[in-house]
């Protein structure tokens, strides 16, 4: 496993498993098996409803807690300094953990300033090793960097061959914020697994299309999370550090960029309306 160093010197695995849409009762076994396959980074969120399952896996794991990197995210209905702090403490209780490695502001909505300051407080109390944000475009990310005591360590964003985010990456690198990709496979939209460019490159290296995508992202120095509950795919997706994409491969993948989200734009009212409809029980 390769690692990246955050701006506070905390080391984070470059590849991890996200547990979005994995039911709580199944999350424990999936994570335990993934740990056995060599995974150390696991990403959940208050909105996912499976923090407890991930926590059970961490506490039953055969590896020491300090070898695991556990992330959760604060949903915007828990926004605000006091409410966000209480919600993270509740997340810790659900997971049965003394600390979290990374906590993110999940969406750039509601009182995200208050939420971020709650994370700063929890970081100072030793309950969080690193803090950051998710789904923040450069304008709002710049705002947080400029007017808070602790700069975000991570910005978790949608990133895949159809939405490559080169400008966002350059901005984050200039401000020492680690980009982390979610939905690298675009949830199989636009026929990504059958795309001729990706299939050609996969054939060239005797790899799967998924492995090519993950290698393309990590080769850019970007941490990446993928979601799967199928152990065969989880095991296969870990085998991405034994080949290297060349400049010709990278140039071909660059032509796939549409510069648009394959889901929704967080900067539009429709994006917020969509997110507000997601059921959430704090």
Going by C-alpha positions, the residue among 169, 46, 69 that lies closest to residue 115 is 46
For 192: left if phi > 0, alpha if psi spans -120 to 50, otherwise beta; the answer is alpha
Q: Which helix (H) or strand (E) holds 71?
A: strand 69-74
What are residue 19's phi and psi, to 5 degrees?
-110, 20
Going by C-alpha positions, the residue among 172, 163, 173, 99 that lies closest to residue 130 is 99
Tokens of 143: 């705002």
Q: Which residues are annotated as a binding site?
A: 106
Q: Which helix (H) or strand (E) holds 43?
A: strand 41-43
Q: Which residues are annotated as a binding site for substrate?
A: 106
What whole-number distance in Å separates Cα of residue 64 and Cα of residue 214?
27
Q: Is 48 a catalytic residue?
A: yes
What whole-number distance in Å separates Cα of residue 202 and Cα of residue 146?
42
Catalytic residue (one of 48, 99, 112, 113): 48
Tokens of 57: 């896996």
For the chain, how long is the longest CA-to-CA vector?
Answer: 53
Asked whether 79 and 114 are in contact (CB, 8 A), the reply is yes
Catalytic positions: 48
């Amino acid at each position: 496993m390769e690692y990246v160093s955050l701006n506070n010197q905390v080391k984070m695995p470059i590849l991890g498993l996200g547990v979005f849409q994995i039911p709580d009762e199944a999350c424990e076994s999936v994570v335990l098996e993934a740990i056995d396959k060599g995974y150390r980074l696991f990403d959940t969120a208050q909105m996912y409803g499976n923090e407890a399952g991930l926590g059970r896996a961490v506490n039953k794991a055969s590896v020491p807690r300090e070898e695991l990197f556990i992330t959760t995210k604060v949903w915007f209905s828990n926004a605000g300094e006091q409410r966000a702090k209480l919600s993270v403490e509740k997340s810790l209780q659900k997971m049965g953990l003394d600390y979290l490695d990374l906590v993110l502001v999940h969406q750039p909505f509601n009182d995200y300033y208050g939420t971020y300051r709650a994370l700063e407080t929890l970081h100072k109390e030793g309950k969080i090793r690193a803090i950051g944000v998710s789904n923040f475009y450069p304008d709002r990310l710049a705002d947080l960097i400029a007017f808070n005591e602790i700069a975000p360590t991570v910005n978790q964003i949608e990133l895949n061959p159809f939405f490559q985010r080169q400008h966002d990456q350059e901005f984050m690198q200039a401000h020492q914020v680690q980009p982390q990709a979610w939905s690298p496979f675009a949830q199989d939209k636009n026929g990504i697994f059958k795309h001729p460019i990706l299939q050609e490159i996969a054939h060239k290296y005797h790899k799967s299309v998924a492995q090519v995508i993950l290698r393309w992202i990590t080769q850019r120095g970007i941490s990446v999370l993928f979601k799967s509950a199928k152990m065969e795919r989880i095991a296969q997706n870990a085998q991405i550090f034994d080949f290297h994409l060349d400049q010709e491969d990278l140039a071909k993948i660059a032509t796939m960029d549409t510069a648009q989200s394959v889901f929704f734009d967080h900067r539009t009212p429709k994006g917020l309306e969509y997110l507000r409809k997601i059921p959430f029980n704090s």
